[in-house]
């Protein structure tokens, strides 16, 4: 739930707090020389994290999908401000990336909705066992 909450906070920051809003944030990618697909990927990874990690849907895949974004964020901030968080460096994206890898390895928890939503039909072997 914590990772999903962080994604919500970052999306909110882009839309409501960042000076110039989402439009300025989006244009910063082109200004810094990133390809045009990068902001689309970042927003899609953050939306997937915000919407799917909290209820526990496709947790492993969403976590894995967001890891390259954190690698890119860590590289972006490390080359500009260094490592330490207090100088807006790469420390937070690196820790966030490590947490996403750990979430990928751990998978969804016992209260995740993902397994409950995706109904898998019983195999013929399981149907025979039920009889």
pLDDT at position 74 is 87
Structure tokens at 119: 């109904």
Say how far apart CA 55 and CA 114 lie, in whole Å.
8
Does the predicted model carry a pTM greater than 0.85?
no
Note whether 89 and 82 are within 8 A (CB): yes
Structure tokens at 47: 């939306």
Say how far apart CA 41 and CA 117 lie, in whole Å.
26
Taking the chain, what is the end-to-end CA distance rounded to the nearest angstrom?
A: 40
Say how far apart CA 113 and CA 23 lie, in whole Å.
34
pLDDT at position 85 is 64
Residue for token digits 């919407």?
Answer: 51
- DSSP state, residue 7: H
Mean pLDDT split into 10-residue runs, the chain, 131 residues: 90 90 89 90 94 93 94 81 69 90 89 69 56 59
pLDDT at position 127 is 54
pLDDT at position 4 is 92
pLDDT at position 111 is 77
| For the chain, domain boundaries | 2-113
């Amino acid at each position: 739930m914590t990772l999903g909450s962080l994604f919500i906070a970052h999306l909110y920051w882009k839309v409501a707090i960042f000076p110039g809003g989402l439009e300025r944030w989006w244009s910063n990618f082109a200004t810094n020389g990133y390809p045009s697909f990068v902001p689309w990927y970042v927003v899609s990874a953050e939306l997937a994290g915000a919407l799917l990690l909290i209820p526990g849907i496709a947790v492993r895949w969403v976590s894995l999908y967001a890891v390259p974004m954190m690698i890119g964020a860590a590289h972006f901030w490390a080359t500009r401000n260094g490592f330490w968080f207090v100088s807006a460096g790469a420390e937070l994206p690196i820790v966030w990336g490590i947490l996403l890898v750990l979430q990928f390895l751990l998978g969804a928890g016992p209260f995740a909705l993902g397994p409950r939503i995706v109904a898998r039909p019983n195999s013929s072997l399981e149907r025979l066992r039920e009889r």
